Structure 1
Amino acid sequence: MNYWPLLGIAIVVIGFALRFNPLLVVVGAALATGVLAGLDLVAVVEALGKAFNDNRYISVTWIILPVIGLLERYGLQQRARAVIANLRGATMGKLLTVYLLFRQFTAAIGMKDIGGHPQAVRPLVAPMAEAAAEMSHGTLAEEDREKVLAMSAATDNVGLFFGEDIFFAIASILLIQGVFESYGYPLTPLQLSVWAIPTAICAFLIHGWRIRALDRRLGRAAR
């Protein structure tokens, strides 16, 4: 057997250990592996180009990061806080509970990328939750402020994780189906999605209680 192509793995390990540019390390390892495997250099470059062209849509998602950065620079978080300040009766508990429901519902119908930490929690949900908590309980201590921000991020995680399994065309459902089928339990994705609904309801109730409990603790600390 020809073990020379395995040198590509060594290139990756050494390159990352020496903290070289990851892109150069990966491309160099791919070129070395292809050439050492007996492929023509042009064919290796063609394969890299085809793979990049087939998956170029993945890079489009990174465009949102500088967009969010520009919006934050020009006051997106401040505007989010101002919106909450103008709402009567707004509390952190109510706001995050509504966002949890929104996140679960949108994930359940396949719109799992409509929220998320960089595009929703950091610029919108967390500042609004913090503003709502300050409206209800006054100026927050730094530790309490961090708890509000952490609960905002956790709410997004719980809503997505337990909501997306209701959507039968999601990768996790297909993985579960494949595992069950390999053990002799043929189930359809729809059957698995239906059984994910009780779990999602329990997750909503439990995390909703955690949100309200934090809101109450902040209220007691403010007294």
Structure 2
Amino acid sequence: MLSLIGVAIIVIGLALRLNALLVVLVAGFSSGLVAGMSPTEILAALGQAFTDNRAVSLFIITLPVIGLLERNGLRDQAEHLVQKLRAASAGRISFSYLVLRKATNAFGLQLGGHPAMIRPLVAPMSIGAAERDLPEEALSSPRFKALSQRIRVLNAVSENFGNFFSQLIFVASGGLLLIKSVLDKSGASVSLADMALYAIPTALVSLVVVFVLCRRLDARIRREHQLLREEYPQPSGQTNATPGKDTFTTSATESHS
């Protein structure tokens, strides 16, 4: 039972909201001491594990770049751009990103991620589409703030579904190679092509699920727009463009004065 002390430390530490890195280190040292390893051997094992998996921390390099882009107005420009596209909606933007994420993953291209795409681009564009034609007072209301949180949740869902349920389609993906190595050690010989083929149905089902979620979100946005316009009527002399009944169907081209 003492061999599981590391798992218990991680569960208790994370439940108490302690520093995650510190909790993992303490759990690693505790498991190593129980296994009879010396402190030097534990440090060597931790260092070797970090060296073998150092590519996992490469995303840190992108954080300063994203921060500089946001500081210089990337989010604002994304919102302004999408507000000019009358056919764009929060659901359409999320679903389009999902399709892009799946397509790039299928070819082994890691184009995406929460810090690189969702926060600086997809989320501002989706919220900008939801802000279209609403008065300024409505944008600061609790109702719209709650709606914007729902939009961000769907943006995160599109990233997670697009990445997790399509990365195994690429035959040279790390996850697929790991599964094959485990199966080979177990005596089950399965080709990478067959494993990638069986990953396609899961990717398609996740595509349908997010499509339905996007439709429901756009329907909710239309209802919230109507309530916000009633609660915060626009000043006289300004006109509102009525959103389409179905943002996933082709709508007639709107004329602007």
TM-score by length of 2: 0.65
1:101 matched residue in structure 2: 99
1:134 counterpart (131, 134, 142): 131
- Code of the residue aligned with 2:206 in structure 1: it is A
1:169 counterpart (164, 167, 172): 172
SS at match of 2:210: helix
- Code of the residue aligned with 1:216 in structure 2: it is A
The one-character-per-residue Cα deviations of 1:68-115 (angstroms, maximum 9, x if unpaired) are 112111211101111112223111122111111000111111113x10
Is structure 2 residue 78 aligned with structure 1 residue 80? yes
1:3 matched residue in structure 2: none
Superposed displacement of residue 157, structure 1: 0.5
Task: Select between 86-95 and 211-220 the one with higher mean Cα deviation.
Answer: 86-95
Higher normalized helix content (fraction of residues): 1
The one-character-per-residue Cα deviations of 1:16-37 (angstroms, maximum 9, x if unpaired) are 99x89x69x96xx98xx8xxx9
2:238 matched residue in structure 1: none
The one-character-per-residue Cα deviations of 1:172-218 (angstroms, maximum 9, x if unpaired) are 22343345445554211110101111221111111111111111112
2:205 counterpart (199, 202, 207): 202
Is structure 2 residue 120 aligned with structure 1 residue 123? yes
How many residues matched?
A: 217
**Contact in 2 for aligned 1:104/1:160 (Cα 8 Å):** yes
Matches within 5 A, 1:141-220: 141-181=144-184, 184-220=187-223
2:241 matched residue in structure 1: none
Superposed displacement of residue 220, structure 1: 1.7
CA separation in 1, counterparts of 2:179 and 2:37?
39
Q: CA RMSD in A?
A: 4.1
SS at match of 2:172: coil
SS at match of 2:115: helix
Task: Select between 81-90 and 136-145 the one with higher mean Cα deviation.
Answer: 136-145
- Code of the residue aligned with 2:202 in structure 1: it is T
- Code of the residue aligned with 1:98 in structure 2: it is S
